[in-house]
Amino acid sequence: MVDPFFRSPSVGATQAAVIDEGLRAHMRRIFNYMGGGLAITGFIAYLVANTGLAEIIFGTPLKWVAMFAPFGFVLYMNFKMDKISASRAQTLFWLFCGAMGLSMAAIFMVFTGASVARAFFITAATFSTMSLWGYTTKKDLTNFGAFLMMGVFGLFIAMIVNLFMGSSMLQWIVSVAGVAIFTGLTAYDVQSLKQMYNDGCGSEANNKVAVMGALKLYLNFINAFQFLLTLTGDRR
């Protein structure tokens, strides 16, 4: 008599291989979205900073739109993700990256190009290392991630306080902490995204997870980059 619940080792190995390949494709999709988003942001930021668009945007009330539009995109995507399609989520992500480019054009106007390039490549190298660790480690990073999220709230409060204090020492501490926190969050988020993958959810759901995953990693990268640039950048 054949046990209907029996699965031969070869069948189990085949299923595991299929799931593993699906996971790798899913993670590649996330990083491709994120990389594409960074490219859009960088291109628009450089274009705006080096053309007459800079004066049009930052010399008029449009600067407030450039500053707060990315925040609006993030809020909308977080609260409406369950109700929108994967294709619309992708479109919103690309628009968000474009809006971030408008906002970050100020970086090219304040810091030298060499400083921006140096901070970017250091951030990219650190980000890649932490992403690899988050993907491969067997250690559960849940508690680590919860601790870092508390650090994000503390960082936000310290930044608000320093708006009134104007302390260079506090700014230095905030920048160092910001680099450390968002670098650590990269590993935590990569592990979380890996664990969230479910081949049985279907392509639509997994595509939306990929977009939101790309958004998280993008924000980690951008924040780490900005704090590092504040620490090491040379102003014009």
Determine, yes or no, domain membership for 45.
Answer: yes
| N-to-C CA span, the chain | 81
pTM to 2 decimals? Answer: 0.88
Q: Which amino acid is at 125?
A: A
What is the CA 8 to chain-centroid distance, rounded?
41
Determine, yes or no, domain membership for 168.
Answer: yes
Determine, yes or no, domain membership for 88.
Answer: yes
Half-sphere exposure of 117 (CA within 13 A, CB side): 3
Domain range for residue 127?
A: 9-232
pLDDT, tens only, 171-220: 899 999 999 999 999 999 999 999 888 766 677 888 898 999 999 999 99
Can you read off the two tokens belonging to residue 176? 């160092």
Where residue 233 falls among pLDDT bands split at 50, 70, 90? confident
Determine, yes or no, domain membership for 3.
Answer: no
Determine, yes or no, domain membership for 1.
Answer: no
Residue matched to tokens 């030298």: 112
Determine, yes or no, domain membership for 2.
Answer: no
Determine, yes or no, domain membership for 56.
Answer: yes
pLDDT, tens only, 98-116: 999 999 998 888 899 899 9
Domain count, the chain: 1
Determine, yes or no, domain membership for 4.
Answer: no
Residue 76 pLDDT exceeds 70: yes
Where residue 14 falls among pLDDT bands split at 50, 70, 90? low
Q: What distance in Å separates the CA atoms of residue 65 and residue 146, rounded to the nearest whole number?
A: 32
Stretch 31-45: mean pLDDT: 95
Please state, rounded to an integer, the average pLDDT across all residues of the chain.
87
Q: What is the pLDDT of residue 165?
A: 85
Q: Which amino acid is at 57?
A: I
Contact 45, 108 (CB under 8 A): yes
